[in-house]
Amino acid sequence: MRVISYNLRKNRASGELSALDEQYEPDVLCLQECDTLELPGEIGLLHLADSTLTNRLGLAVYYRKDRFEAVKTQSFALKKSLHDLLLAPAHERLIGTRLIDRVADRELVVASFHAAPLTARNSLRRNQIRSAHEELNLLGPGLPTLMVGDYNYPVFKRNLGDKINESGYDLTLSDSRTYTRYKFFRGHFDLATSTGLTIDNVETLPQGTSDHMPILVTSTYTDESAHETVRQSARQALREADASGKTTAGVPEEFDI
């Protein structure tokens, strides 16, 4: 699975999205700082799952309709920083989409995240990250989950990684820095946190008009649990029964398929 995350810098880089889709063919596109009123419903083969509505700097998730089916998309408000309270740039800092992957016959959650700006403390951003993971687990309990976006966390990433590991997630940095606007704060701002997935690679893509560079996250599902294997066998039995017109007596009733 290929996921691109891009902070558009107050929508300035929105004109680059079609080219990113054509060149890298992502399965999912996660945006931050976009003007949601101007977002197209389709970008190439990507379909808009949903976007935030109350933000001045919005979030959005696109997915390939030929591979995925969207089950539910939900936006979340996280703990506010002083910057948020005074200037109100972002009421919702997280949007997640629960998807059915037809290729892998799996379900997963993919989310776009935008942490509080550098005027806030790292402790607040850690709180937002932890809360975001908790909300996504409610959206898709126990499902593989990938959260990408602008974490605004330029230093002390080892401590951040330790905290994220404690919550059952992994933190993955890209192969090179993703932010260049301020000399002192140059570094990895755009990150990926995940659970139930193996992150094969996180590549920083060439810079466009934004002060953030896009990142391309390539991932695969981790080994299936025994429970998930049985669930997928049950799904297959249902499909075969529906196709042949037979009953589904052999499918365990306790599986929510």
- Residue 217: CB atoms within 10 A of its CB come to 27
Asked if 32 and 150 count as a contact pair (C-beta separation under 8 A), the reply is yes
Cβ atoms within 10 Å of 176's Cβ, excluding its own: 13
- Residues in contact with 223: Cβ distance below 8 Å, sequence separation at least 6, in sequence order: none
- Residue 164 sits at φ, ψ, to 5 deg, of -65, -40
User: pTM of this prediction?
Assistant: 0.82
CATH superfamily, region 2-243 = Endonuclease/exonuclease/phosphatase (3.60.10.10)
- Retrieve residue 135's tokens: 């909300």
Contacts of 5 (CB under 8 A, 6+ apart): 30, 31, 32, 112, 148, 149, 190, 192, 214, 215, 217
- How far CA 226 is from CA of 223, 230, 231, 244, in Å, comes to 9, 6, 9, 27
Sequential pLDDT tens for the chain (257 residues): 999 999 999 999 999 999 999 999 999 999 999 999 999 999 999 999 999 987 668 999 999 999 999 999 999 988 665 545 444 555 789 999 999 999 999 999 999 999 988 777 888 899 999 999 999 999 999 999 999 999 988 766 788 899 999 989 999 999 999 987 655 555 688 999 999 999 999 999 999 999 999 999 999 999 754 344 445 444 555 555 555 554 434 433 332 32
Q: Are 54 and 92 in contact (CB under 8 A)?
A: yes
Pick the closest to residue 128 from 113, 142, 141, 110 (CA basis): 113
